[in-house]
Structure 1
């Protein structure tokens, strides 16, 4: 490689690192005297608090109703479309992956048990953000000839905010981050865990992954939803049951572990050692960052799945509630399960370098022996596999938005092949420069989405009030309706064909 090429690569990597530091922050803030949180963390948490107040603490007021909607979530689908439940499972497929198993382990290792507390807070605040963005995605969705709706931030940015360039920027960032790079990350995690547990060469795992992913992605969005709707609930329940078994069999230690989490979150344990500020900072930054990465609230990814559904009741607010539930399950349930296993095991050693997925495997092996290593390898295989296909579906939807539905077929075929190539490359190679660029793309994507939903907050709040009014009137799920004509802004912006009935 020429000297000029080396200089370009070095300059590009420096720019990406600078951008990530600005957006995501720097863990070494005390040493480098730089901000300990980046711009995005402040905006995400600030927006979440604003949405929580604006919706009158919707995540607490409607907590029971949120779960109750699961009863009818399988209904509403027609003509081969996607149900509310399948849309939820697709978004969970993307959320539940390396962040829940490896990411939690990293947060606990670097930030201490207190990081878990800040993950909880991030999820509780993020639930209201998820409601706003997913409700807007439903309100601005458009029909498609395959009977699966399309929608998401790109669509409500273009129609609601009226800025096509901003919508295209969002779509391009999502394509880079979720459509390509993060699929490589998921494949890499699968390959490493399988190699650790069974000694399978990474190239072999990559080949198997490509063979499994190919028929799903070539089947389109409906195929992704069907597979996610079957795999995600089974694996999530198995993982949760295993965590509950460990908690129950070690119940005398569980209250101690919870107290350990809370004390560490507020530096009560570190105060005795004279490192109060540093301990709190490390717990907060790692808990919040890992929590945001895991539940994706505000990132603009889950709304792409939310928009595809034909909900029951047929109202945009329903997918808002369902995606709030997704954030809760991802962080408050599955991430907490991982954290409980790790903390109760006592295997975390700050003096020994421990990697994320291997730390989770080591912790589980303390309870069930080598079976724990194998189980985590299998769990991460299915969790990350479903993340790959869900990430692909997000990419396809946004690629179609950029190119237009009539001209999208050639681009989508090329995209499918590139995704499969990226899955194989990710399995056999570690490409930190690409992952860093993906982080930057995801950060820009999130900032763009947050700007849009803050602008469109009044629309989402009016939709919420319309839904709450019908609930108070005692209407059954079959009687609840949504009519864009009842909203001044949506009257001219919502797609009429998506709400023709």
Structure 2
């Protein structure tokens, strides 16, 4: 698994972690925003009217209403990215990462408008009478690039695991274990059965469930978040200020946080923003293709609301909870994940300015840091190291009170061999105090409000509802892609494998799962961005035609 983890790190470095990816993603959104004259602002009010069904007509083709399609798409985006993803972005990129999540959402509102419109326009009716759409259909039917459509569909299937299944249950299980003490595989087993029961019912059952769950989960989470924000109201101003001040300079060291450069905060903020709202990824168009209607542009306008609700509203609440509570710079007793940990040569202290600067350079990929990775043996007696020639770095902080164990409850005595900064023996666990990330960080933050320790239950319930609904939506995305690739007969085997993967991820390494998701997202996103850019002129023509027809049919509407 270490080798696989390193492979994912290398792939992420070439794709999502590469310097050029955020510029491509934001660049396409910026281009369409200017090219279409800021549709995310001009059409926002109209989108709200469309989603209420004000302009619906009878007997239109489709499987769901506008609201149900929006709810299904939102259930696919409002997930661990809003709870664990924001926390992960801040934990590795500092407050500046939140700013770049906002930018990704703002320009992503236009990107999503374009991809949904084109996908709805070229959708098809399947053998079982349901609608199937998505970028693979406009790539095939309009661009005549079947090779690109196949590539996208394959990436969608992969991403349904990397985005929709694996990280969702992983975060649910982590939260349930931290809050209620449930074993991860117990949580995974119960929810896997429920997932199977839901997805077997197809899009109509999925839409019926998500249209009820999404409003409920949003209300619960918002109430809990406001309980922390209002409790720490005096810190809101400084928190907002740090987001904007650090946006173009990077986040300086604070507390246990060793700091993040501009490049790191920018890259991780954009990457996490994409994971959160999926604008440009091409996933939401698959859900919107099921909506009843004969006006693709109107369905595209509905999708403008998604990044706004998902990132501008919910992710901002999560970010302010974490920043205002101050937990993102505090160290907590935790189990060190191998994928987030490295052991370096020598003893380092946060109080030593030169040492802290060296670690800053090392963690941000800068040169001349002088840090050497530890290779050698650590002698351990009753869980404590005898030699002191090493430092454990975990979650971009210096680990303290280090203990070694076979399990968290059984201390270790013997020799621990370290190779390339990681214990060779996978059975040996390392515990201690360090910064935490993902859902664990958000859980800590929610206990610093009016609800006190009970705040962790809000995160657990929110995480359960958010993540489970995301897994439901992504199963639909995957089975539509399988229909395109191999036909309707391939759907059932896919669903079985999807549920099995869902169960496995409940007890897998958290960081490893996030790395898989990061790679899968980019593999899916790039073909879609390329395709919608090629159809930019058709998109503008479609908008003009829509408004011409709309004004004739609704002369009193503005």
TM-score bin (small chain):
0.7 to 0.9
Asked if 1 retains the 8 angstrom alpha-carbon contact of 2:167 and 2:517, the reply is no
Q: 1:455 aligns with which of 534, 545, 554?
A: 534
Deviation of 1:398 after TM superposition, in Å, equals: 0.6
Quote the Cα distance in structure 2 between the aligned partners of 1:134 and 1:238: 29
TM-score normalised by L of structure 2: 0.75
Quote the Cα distance in structure 2 between the aligned partners of 1:322 and 1:41: 25
Quote the Cα distance in structure 2 between the aligned partners of 1:234 and 1:214: 22
> What is the match of residue 159 of structure 1?
141
Q: 1:184-217 CA deviation, whole Å, 9 max, x = no partner?
A: 2211111110010000111110111012111111
Match of 2:125, SS? coil
Bigger fraction of residues in helix? 1
Q: Does 1:355 align with 2:355?
A: no
Asked if 1 retains the 8 angstrom alpha-carbon contact of 2:251 and 2:260, the reply is no
Deviation of 1:430 after TM superposition, in Å, equals: 2.6
Q: Write out aligned runs for 1:241-260 (5 A).
A: 241-260=223-242
Q: Does 1:50 align with 2:31?
A: yes
Q: 1:369-413 CA deviation, whole Å, 9 max, x = no partner?
A: 221111101110110100111010000101001123xxx23x211
Deviation of 1:249 after TM superposition, in Å, equals: 4.7
Q: Write out aligned runs for 1:185-224 (5 A).
A: 185-224=167-206
The runs of 5 or more residues in structure 2 that have no matched partner are 331-396, 398-433
Deviation of 1:111 after TM superposition, in Å, equals: 1.5
Check 1:84–1:126 CA distance in 2 against 1; reply closer, same or farther (3 A cut).
Answer: same
Deviation of 1:90 after TM superposition, in Å, equals: 0.9
Quote the Cα distance in structure 2 between the aligned partners of 1:192 and 1:246: 22
> What is the match of residue 444 of structure 1?
523
Q: 1:290-335 CA deviation, whole Å, 9 max, x = no partner?
A: 1111111111111111111114xx4111121111111111100010
The number of residue pairs the alignment matches comes to: 452
Match of 1:299, SS? coil
Deviation of 1:356 after TM superposition, in Å, equals: 1.4
> What is the match of residue 423 of structure 1?
502
Bigger fraction of residues in strand? 2
Q: 1:68-110 CA deviation, whole Å, 9 max, x = no partner?
A: 3232179558588211111111111111111110111111222
Deviation of 1:476 after TM superposition, in Å, equals: 6.8
Q: Does 1:294 align with 2:276?
A: yes
Deviation of 1:355 after TM superposition, in Å, equals: 2.1
Check 1:254–1:241 CA distance in 2 against 1; reply closer, same or farther (3 A cut).
Answer: same
Q: 2:457 aligns with which of 346, 371, 374?
A: 374
Deviation of 1:147 after TM superposition, in Å, equals: 4.7
Deviation of 1:242 after TM superposition, in Å, equals: 2.8
Q: Write out aligned runs for 1:205-354 (5 A).
A: 205-267=187-249, 270=252, 279-311=261-293, 314-349=294-329, 351=397, 352-354=434-436
Q: Does 1:135 align with 2:117?
A: yes
Q: 1:141-200 CA deviation, whole Å, 9 max, x = no partner?
A: 112355532100111110111011211111111101214664022111111100100001
Asked if 1 retains the 8 angstrom alpha-carbon contact of 2:132 and 2:289, the reply is yes
Match of 2:236, SS? helix
Check 1:167–1:278 CA distance in 2 against 1; reply closer, same or farther (3 A cut).
Answer: same
Aligned CA RMSD, in angstroms, stands at 2.9
Check 1:422–1:20 CA distance in 2 against 1; reply closer, same or farther (3 A cut).
Answer: same
Q: 1:437-492 CA deviation, whole Å, 9 max, x = no partner?
A: 55333312211111111111212211111122234446179x99xxxxxxxxxxxx
TM-score normalised by L of structure 1: 0.83
Deviation of 1:42 after TM superposition, in Å, equals: 1.9
Q: 1:227-260 CA deviation, whole Å, 9 max, x = no partner?
A: 1111011101221233234434544443332222
> What is the match of residue 111 of structure 1?
93
The structure with the largest alpha-carbon Rg is: 2
> What is the match of residue 384 of structure 2?
none
Q: 2:13 aligns with which of 12, 21, 24?
A: 21
> What is the match of residue 64 of structure 2?
82
> What is the match of residue 21 of structure 2?
40
Asked if 2 retains the 8 angstrom alpha-carbon contact of 1:87 and 1:305, the reply is yes
Quote the Cα distance in structure 1 between the aligned partners of 2:315 and 2:533: 28
Asked if 2 retains the 8 angstrom alpha-carbon contact of 1:257 and 1:343, the reply is yes
Deviation of 1:266 after TM superposition, in Å, equals: 3.3
Match of 2:117, SS? helix
Deviation of 1:431 after TM superposition, in Å, equals: 7.8
Quote the Cα distance in structure 1 between the aligned partners of 2:268 and 2:162: 25
> What is the match of residue 3 of structure 1?
none
Q: 2:45 aligns with which of 64, 69, 91?
A: 64
Match of 1:24, SS? coil
Q: Does 1:475 align with 2:467?
A: no
Quote the Cα distance in structure 2 between the aligned partners of 1:366 and 1:77: 50
Q: Does 1:365 align with 2:447?
A: yes
Match of 2:475, SS? helix
The runs of 5 or more residues in structure 1 that have no matched partner are 1-5, 26-36, 481-501
